[in-house]
Structure 1
C-alpha cells in the first residue's frame, strides 16, 4: 500500500512524497493519522536543520536516517497490529506518545524514559505523523475513551510538555507562577497550571491576542511585554516587589531566560522549556539569590493524566488550535505561515480527509 507523506530532505526542503506503508513488525502498530500538529521543533528542522534529524548515521532506537517523515504531535486510528501486541486492536483510536525508549538503560529502569540513553521522538529521529499512515512501537499508543475526540488528542503532545514542566517546577496552589512566552507551550502551561490548583498565574507576551487568550485560559494577571515596560519589573510589581515563586521560560531565547530570573524571587525556581543555544548568565547573581534553573525535556507518564482530565474533568485543549490544513499544504500554509507571523498558534495537519 502506498501513502502520501511530508519528507524532510534538508533545510527548506520538505517534499510531499509517495511512500510505501511499512507493515507493523513485532510489538508495533500502524495507524491512519487523523491529525498532526506542527511544532516549533519541526520549524527548527525546516529552517536550518538538522538538529535532531539523524543524517548519515541511523538513530539507535528507530534505525532511521534522513530522508525522514516529520511530525511528532499526532493521533489516529489503528489500521494494523503486529505480532506480540496486546491491549490494542484495529479500529482503536489512539493518541501517540512519540518518545522512543530502550527500556533497559539506567534511566528507563528508574522510570525516567524521557531521558533514555537513546532519547528521541518519532517524527524527529524516526518517521512520524505528517503522513497518511505511520508504523510505530505499540508502547507509544494510548487508547482513547469515547469522550476524547481526536482533535483533543492531537494536542496531547504539547500539553504533556507543559504538564511535565509544571511537575518539574514543584509549583503548588500557594505559589505564584509566571509564564514568559505564550506560544502553544506557554498557553498550555497557563491552562494546566489552573487545573493543578495554582491560584496566581502571571502571563507575559508581546502579542496582544495571545495575552487575551491566556486570560481566557486562566491567567490571573497579564503583562504586555511589547508595551515598552520591563516585563520582569512588572511581574515584581504584581507580587509586592518579591517576584514569582516559579517562572516558566517558554520562548527559547537568552533574553527571556534572563527576564525569568529577574522576575523570580530570591530562592525561586526557573523552568527552562524553550530551546536555544549558548546563554551567558551572572553566576554572582544566581548564587547570591539562591535561585534554581530547572530544565524540562519532553514528558513522562503525562498522557494518562491528560486523557483523564479531558474525559472526566472537561479540560479543553482546542482553543490553541488556530488552523487545520491538508497535508499537501504543510509547507506554504503550515511551516511558512507559522514563520511569517503571529496570527497562527497551533496548526493541525489532516493527512486523511473525511469524517472523524
Structure 2
C-alpha cells in the first residue's frame, strides 16, 4: 500500500509499505480522510519534536521513519484476535492516543496522561496511508448521519472540547481565544454552542478574524494592536473570565494574562517552549494558569452533537487532496498559505465524499 513517511525535517516520502496482519486487539482500517495538523507541520518543518528516532515508543514499538497522521477515520476491513466481531465493516473515527490501561492515570480514566502517552501518527504509524493498523480501543463507531469529512475533524474538535472542560467557563462568562488556527476556531464554535455569548477572538490575520466572527465570536481583534489587553478589558467590562492561548507564543501568553479579571484563568492549548511571565501579577490578581493536553472522554459527546446536527465541523475544512498531493499542496502550502484552515488528505478515492 502507499504511505507518506517522515524520514527527517523537510523529508516526507510517498512510497510502498507492506503492513503486517492485525495483531491481538488491533484492526486494519481503510483510511477515508486524514487531516494535516499543526503538530504534523512542526514535524515536517523542523522536527523531530515528538517522533521517536533512536528508541521505539513503548506502546507502538515504532521509531522513525514512520507514517504521519493522527486526525483520521475510515472503515474497518480486518480484525485481529480478541476484537469484537461486529466491528468488521464499520465506519469509525480514531481517537489517536495510545494508553497502557495499567498506570495510575489510566486506572482512574485520565488516559490522556498515561505514563506511556503518545499519538498514533506521531509516535507510531498513522493515517497518511491507504491503510492503518489501529488499536481497537481507539475506535468510535460513526452513525450513518456523520460523514467521514466530519469525522476527520473530530480530533482537533476533541482538543478544543477538552480545553473547554479544563476551564471553568460557563454560559454568561466571557472568554478570549488567542490564535485562530483550527483549534482556536473550534474553541470559538464550541464555546458558542455551550451558551457563551461574549467570545473575543484574536489573530494577526484578518481572514482568520472574519472566520471567527462567522463561527460565533462577538468581536475579533488584531493581535498586533499594542493596546490589545486594555481593549479586551474594556470590551469585557473589566476583564475576561477565561483566556485560551492557542497560538503558542510569548506575546500571546502575556496578553492573555493581562486581559483577565481578578480570579480569571488562562488555559494553555498552543505548543510552545520556555516562556516568562510576571509571577507577582499572577499572584496579586489570584490568576490561574492551566494547561490542556490531548483529550479524554469527549468523542462520544462530539459524535452525538454531529449526529443531531447541532455541530457542523465541515466549516473548518478548506481543501481535500489525494495522497499524492499531500506534500506539495498540503504540507508545503500550509507553511505559506494562511487562508487554509483544515486540509484533509483522502488516501482511498473509493471512500471520498463530495
- Select 1:98's aligned residue among 71, 96, 99: 96
Q: Does the CA-based 8 Å contact 2:79-2:85 persist in structure 1? A: no
Structure 2 counterpart of 1:37? 35
Q: Does 1:185 align with 2:180?
A: no
SS of aligned partner of 2:87? coil
**Aligned partners of 1:332 and 1:346: how far apart in 2?**
15
Q: Does 1:63 align with 2:61?
A: yes
Structure 2 counterpart of 1:140? 138
**CA-CA distance at 1:90 after TM superposition:** 2.2
Q: Does the CA-based 8 Å contact 2:179-2:245 persist in structure 1? A: yes
Q: Does 1:320 align with 2:312?
A: no
**Aligned partners of 1:345 and 1:12: how far apart in 2?**
21
Structure 2 counterpart of 1:211? 209
**CA-CA distance at 1:272 after TM superposition:** 0.2
Spell out, residue by residue over 1:311-352, the C-alpha distance to the aligned partner (whole angstroms, 9 max, x if none).
014310111111111111111111111101311111101111
Write out aligned runs for 1:116-127 (5 A): 116-127=114-125
Q: Does 1:253 align with 2:249?
A: yes
Structure 2 counterpart of 1:276? 272
Q: Does 1:198 align with 2:205?
A: no
Structure 2 counterpart of 1:265? 261
Q: Does 1:238 align with 2:235?
A: yes
Spell out, residue by residue over 1:215-255, the C-alpha distance to the aligned partner (whole angstroms, 9 max, x if none).
111111221224x3532222111012x11000000111111
Spell out, residue by residue over 1:136-159, the C-alpha distance to the aligned partner (whole angstroms, 9 max, x if none).
100001000011000000000000
Residue range with higher mean Cα deviation, 230-239 or 176-185: 230-239
- TM-score (structure 2 length as normaliser): 0.97
Spell out, residue by residue over 1:84-137, the C-alpha distance to the aligned partner (whole angstroms, 9 max, x if none).
111642221000000000001000011100010001000000110000000010
**Aligned partners of 1:254 and 1:130: how far apart in 2?**
32
- TM-score (structure 1 length as normaliser): 0.97
Structure 1 counterpart of 2:20? 22
**CA-CA distance at 1:286 after TM superposition:** 1.0
**CA-CA distance at 1:209 after TM superposition:** 1.6
Give the number of equivalent residue pairs.
352
RMSD: 1.1
Structure 2 counterpart of 1:339? 335
**Aligned partners of 2:311 and 2:46: how far apart in 1?**
36
Q: Does 1:163 align with 2:164?
A: no
- Select 2:70's aligned residue among 67, 72, 90: 72
Report the CA distance shift for 1:87/1:221 in structure 2 as closer, same or farther (over 3 A). Answer: farther
Structure 1 counterpart of 2:111? 113
Q: Does the CA-based 8 Å contact 1:88-1:143 persist in structure 2? A: no
Q: Which runs of 5+ in 2 are unaligned?
A: none
Q: Does the CA-based 8 Å contact 2:208-2:339 persist in structure 1? A: no
**CA-CA distance at 1:210 after TM superposition:** 1.3
Structure 1 counterpart of 2:129? 131
Spell out, residue by residue over 1:132-187, the C-alpha distance to the aligned partner (whole angstroms, 9 max, x if none).
00001000010000110000000000000000000001210021011111000000
Report the CA distance shift for 1:268/1:135 in structure 2 as closer, same or farther (over 3 A). Answer: same
**Aligned partners of 1:192 and 1:109: how far apart in 2?**
29
Residue range with higher mean Cα deviation, 196-205 or 124-133: 196-205
Residue range with higher mean Cα deviation, 130-139 or 335-344: 335-344
Q: Spell out structure 1 runs of 4+ moving beyond 4 A.
A: none
Spell out, residue by residue over 1:239-289, the C-alpha distance to the aligned partner (whole angstroms, 9 max, x if none).
12x110000001111111111111111110000000111101111111111
**Aligned partners of 2:315 and 2:18: how far apart in 1?**
35
